[in-house]
Chain A
Amino acid sequence: EAGVAQSPRYKIIEKRQSVAFWCNPISGHATLYWYQQILGQGPKLLIQFQNNGVVDDSQLPKDRFSAERLKGVDSTLKIQPAKLEDSAVYLCASSLERIPGANVLTFGAGSRLTVL
């Protein structure tokens, strides 16, 4: 089965610029997550979708971050304007069920963002 696809793999921008990341989950996986992983830290949940609805976005910095999953499949995460502290790997993950404990979370390879 194809894995979770993410693009771009790497992105370098200057602060105050904008960037968008794209994720295509495993076919049939209803739940999609975006995690932020800063160097030396564990992944931190930014937003969780169930189909095209948001389940949890409590840790998403909504003044600059936005995410959508319009048709319940692909998702886009946008940062505008970017800050230096946004430098991180943005990991997309998907699971078959809403409750992650019921199924394995499969991660994509990540999008590494460097903000200069």
Chain B
Amino acid sequence: RKEVEQDPGPFNVPEGATVAFNCTYSNSASQSFFWYRQDCRKEPKLLMSVYSSGNEDGRFTAQLNRASQYISLLIRDSKLSDSATYLCVVLARGGADGLTFGKGTHLIIQP
């Protein structure tokens, strides 16, 4: 089983719709979780951290389910500018290793 697994997509979603995608992780000792966004041919940038209690930032909501070992990202009222690849990122307990990135989920918002 891969350490961090994501559906690569692409997810084709009409503008204004709500879209959600999950990410599963294999290491139960993982302690920190993040979503990074990567635009085409650009570097990844932090979108949001994922807290145990869940967190919301504007149209974006991230949630963590430790029992089932997955995190989710929900985007409401999607905009054309949300088109990007969303990378799920996990940090193992202890933090001695760098972050482990998933392959990313490709999202295309269509007008």
Contact = CB atoms under 8 A, between A and B. Distances in A.
B96 interface: yes
A107 B104 CA distance: 16
B97 A101 contact: no
Interface in A19-68: 33, 35, 40-45, 48, 55-56, 58
**Interface range on chain B (Cβ under 8 Å from partner):** 20 to 34
Nearest to A6: B43
Contacts of A105: 46, 99
B31 interface: yes
A99 interface: yes
Interface string B3-42: 0100010000000000000000000000110100000001
B95 A100 contact: yes
A79 interface: no
A101 B94 CA distance: 10
Contacts of A33: 98
Contacts of A109: 42-43
28 contacts: A35-B101, A40-B8, A40-B103, A41-B103, A42-B4, A42-B87, A42-B101, A43-B44, A44-B101, A45-B98, A45-B100, A48-B97, A48-B98, A55-B96, A56-B96, A56-B97, A56-B98, A100-B32, A100-B95, A100-B98, A101-B34, A101-B91, A101-B99, A102-B95, A104-B46, A105-B99, A109-B42, A110-B43
The 9 nearest A-B residue pairs measured at CB: A42-B101, A101-B32, A45-B98, A107-B43, A99-B95, A101-B91, A42-B103, A43-B101, A104-B46
